Amino acid sequence: MNIPTPHNSAKKEDFAKTVLMPGDPLRAKLIAEKYLENAVLVNQVRGMLGYTGTYKGKPLSVMASGMGMPSMGIYSYELFNFYDVDNIIRIGSAGAFSDDLDLYDIVAAMGSCTDSNYACQYKLNGTFAPTANYKLLSTFVNTCEKNSVTAHVGNVLTSDTFYNADESSSLKWKAMGVLAVEMESAALYMNAAAANKNALAVFTISDCPFKKTEISSEERQNSFDTMMRMALETAVCL
């Protein structure tokens, strides 16, 4: 495909080798303005803001993915396959299944279960298990440990449905030890595997449905500072 793409107006050299990818474009803007040096806006097609600058002297990009696997599927695919990006770290929010998780806790997705048919495109004779890149995962966990931050590592669920008509669905995933639910990481992990690239998804818990607690949409956009700093420090090590 020619560059720019229908979804990205950047030139090929506009992205760094590592991209932090929140879902919310305004969170991408916040990260660029708060943490990156000399950040330049490189994409704003459909409001999916993308920036490139440096962090502690290392080139780094941040770009929004939007919501859901189809949107993540498009943007991560293009970054991996058309823009020569090597590493994508998703930094998002998730809803807790595990009773051990509370608001603002950090989860790193070692694996991403999914109720999506995204993997059908690969025509595999079995069930593909989307997993994080071990180097990214171990670097993130080590970074958290060095900064006295607790990272809960395990399986998450990437779901196609935010409002699920089957009210028992969450309980079933919880019973299998799944820590939390979100909507993008399985597509990211599959795109990375197919492109022989590297991906990691980390989350801040924004709601605990079984405990009936949640944070506001404004807090989702403007908080999550600890997770973002740990992701930035991880990116410096790559």
- The set of catalytic residues is 207
Alpha helices in the chain (DSSP H): 25-35, 69-81, 134-146, 169-175, 185-195, 217-222, 225-236
In the chain, % helix, strand, coil (3-state, to 5) comes to 35, 30, 35
- Cα angle vertex 49, ends 45, 53, to 5°? 125
Distance CA 185, CA 50 (A): 19
CB burial of residue 152 (10 Å; 0-12, 13-18, 19+)? middle
Cis (ω within 30 of 0) for the bond into 4?
A: yes
Distance CA 195, CA 123 (A): 16
